[in-house]
Amino acid sequence: MSLTIPGFTSQRVETAAGVHLHAAVAGSGPAVVLLHGFPQTHVMWRHVAADLARDHTVICPDLRGYGASDKPAEADEHTYAKRTMAADVVALVRALGHERFALAGHDRGALVAVRAGLDHPEAVTHLLVLDVLPTLDMWDVLHGADAKVAWHLYLMAQPVGVPEPMIEAVADTFFASFLDGWVADPAAIDAEHRAEYLRASREAVPSIVADYRASAGIDVVHDREDRARGRVLAMPVTVVQQDWGAALGYDAAGLWSAWAPDLDHRTTRAGHFLAEEAPGEVVATLRELLAR
């Protein structure tokens, strides 16, 4: 049985034809939606969500292809496009009775959140992004030997049938390498939740790969189209990330400001899994954003 957030109720909502998302929901008041990253599920938000639920309706979905949500076969490049996954999220929240909502995303969830902000500005009031760059910029800053830090991006960008059996053959080792290698405080992800992330990821290899494959294809196309049209994020945006810009030689705040005119950019001393390593920092940052 999948883990969920204590005190939250489970909802299962059809967001597209034949596709249902699972979400944990609690609280009342203005809606805040929290989108998880890789290789995790909605329970990565457990500390942050519990605090926010004191005065907000908090909605924590498993993304399409992850956790207890449906994992449709990759029919074409659009099945796991961030545009499609963002539309899922908007449909979910509307089905739960909210036309407008604040949105926070970590890692893959942050890419979905950014696409939701670009495609659905009428729905997204505030946007918090944790530890990613926009898809187009992410590929642009990876050069030479330094790009080895993102080796998994290149593996999962390969054609259908190549990365999937490789990953499935060593699934726990593959996914654990990120959980263990990206965390600055190993105690932040306890044994129970680590095992849950490994189980959920092991059972979702094709859809996880499809999500990443889309980010090397159709997601780049969509970002380029937006850049050419001058589309930007109209809502207040806060970005919190590790200082990869200093390590890899790029201006992270500058890259983000091109997409988000109303930007608060911050770096953190926490590792990649901020919501578990530094939940107090994330809650405080999100509450500051909601007050803008």
Active site residue 272: yes
Residue tagged active-site, from 107, 131, 137, 226: 107
* Encoded amino acid at 244, one letter: W
Contact 75, 81 (CB under 8 A): no
Classify 114 as helix, strand or coil.
helix
Q: Is 107 part of the annotated catalytic residue set? A: yes
Report the phi/psi class of residue 222: left, alpha or beta, with left for phi > 0 and alpha for psi in -120 to 50: alpha
- Rounded CA separation 58/32 (Å): 5
DSSP, res 191 = H
Encode burial over 97-124: b for 16+ CB neighbours within 10 A, e otherwise. Answer: ebeebbbbbbbbbbbbbbbbbbbbeebb
Which tokens go with 249? 């030689």
Q: Quickly tell me which residue has 């489970």 as its tokens.
A: 10
Pairing of strands 263-267, 124-130: unpaired
What phi-psi label fits residue 18: left (phi over 0), alpha (psi between -120 and 50 degrees) or beta? left
CA-CA distance, 89 to 33, in Å (whole number)?
Answer: 9
Among 216, 204, 284, 237, CA closest to 38? 204
Q: Tokens 């390498």 appear where?
A: 177
Q: How far apart are the C-alpha atoms of 81 and 68, rounded to whole Å?
A: 19
Q: Which residues are catalytic?
A: 107, 272
